[in-house]
Amino acid sequence: MVSKRENEMRRTFAVLGAVLAVGSFVSHAHAAVTTTDLVLSLGIGNDNWEWAPGRSPDAGDGGGWGYSGERSENHSSGGSWTLGWDIETSRNIVGENRGSQTAFVFNNLVLTNNTGATQIVTMTTTVPVIPGILPSSVMGGSASGTLSTNGDGGTMSNINNSDPMYRALIDGLAVGGIADLHLFDSSISVIGFGSNSTGFEDFGTPIPSAPGPAVNSTIGILLQFELTQGDSVSWTSSFVVNIPSPGAMGLLGMAGVVAIRRRR
């Protein structure tokens, strides 16, 4: 029997497949692609780390750069944390015609909190987009999180009981609106040993199709939550931007005219 988690993973991989397919019918436009300079940032309580992980040996498979690895560090509390990652981003090779405008980041992140206390956690993946996507974009994304406990139960909760757990970023700023997922009280708990999922949420489907702002330099994903001591969370998430096709540009223009007339 297929588990709920497996179904969510399949849906997310289907999203990525659709994302890569989208580029095939807009390749006549000016390409917006990412460099290889992926940056990971992690904040746990008052401690912060930032690094550029190296590309995996199989980088380039599936039309993107691949990154995978694991890092553990001591925390100022006297404990420690461990973060594992398996990430794919769109790629950029000088002189290469990718035949796709799609710029994307596809995350699989697993964090374990062994700091000795419940912590506020922020995990950010940032990818440069060169050249930018101007003057506007279409966008979409998805996220699903799973809590796994160590035997005495635990909780993953929204910061301030309301902040979105997933935020899509453009040029270092949260897009907001529909690009915030797992809003308000999306907390999940487990009694004893086991796991629980936030469920799957997305926006801009078919991805990417929601009107978005210009992208001058970067796209990214911010994941933020509170996590109890000794427990782990795994997040599968994606964020995708593209140049609107000529037809989509026309529709967006018409929508703007209609909105202006309504305001009048």
- pLDDT for 92-119, tens place per residue? 544 444 335 679 999 999 999 999 999 9
For 93-126, give the DSSP string. -TT---S---EEEEEEEEEEEESSS-EEEEEEEE
Q: Are 124 and 38 in contact (CB under 8 A)?
A: no
What is d(CA 22, CA 236) in angstroms, rounded to the nearest whole number?
Answer: 21
Q: Strand, coil or helix: what is 4?
A: helix
The answer to whether 198 and 187 have CB atoms below 8 angstroms apart is no
Q: What is the pLDDT of residues 11-40, one digit of tens each?
A: 544 544 444 443 433 332 334 444 457 999
pLDDT at 63: 62
Q: What is the largest CA-CA distance in the chain?
A: 61
Q: How far apart are CA 258 and CA 262, in angstroms?
A: 6
Give the pLDDT band (50/70/90) at residue 185: confident
Give the pLDDT score at 93.
46
The model's pTM? 0.82
How is 18-58 classified by DSSP, letter by letter?
HHHHHGGGSTTSPP-EE-S--EEEEEETTEEEEE-PPPPTT
